[in-house]
Amino acid sequence: MSEAAQSLFEERAAIREFLGGMPRVEAEAAAREDVQRILAADRAAATAWRERIKS
């Protein structure tokens, strides 16, 4: 996991744990899913931009 992704993961887990009241294990699992979705969306956006530039 990149440093940026790790930071995002830690932030999302902390938000879910401390503000959302989730147990740590659940907060980390949900944060892991959040990061996977965010990174997938970022890759899709980058791919779309590369395709637009090629055109």
pTM of the model: 0.80
| 1-38 b/e (C-beta count within 10 Å ≥ 16 → b) | eeeeeeebbeebbeebbeeeebeeeebbebbeebbeee
What are the extents of the domains in the chain? 3-54
Q: What is the pLDDT of residue 54?
A: 84
Per-residue pLDDT tens digits for 2-45: 999 999 999 999 999 999 999 999 999 999 999 999 999 999 98
Average pLDDT over residues 41-52: 89
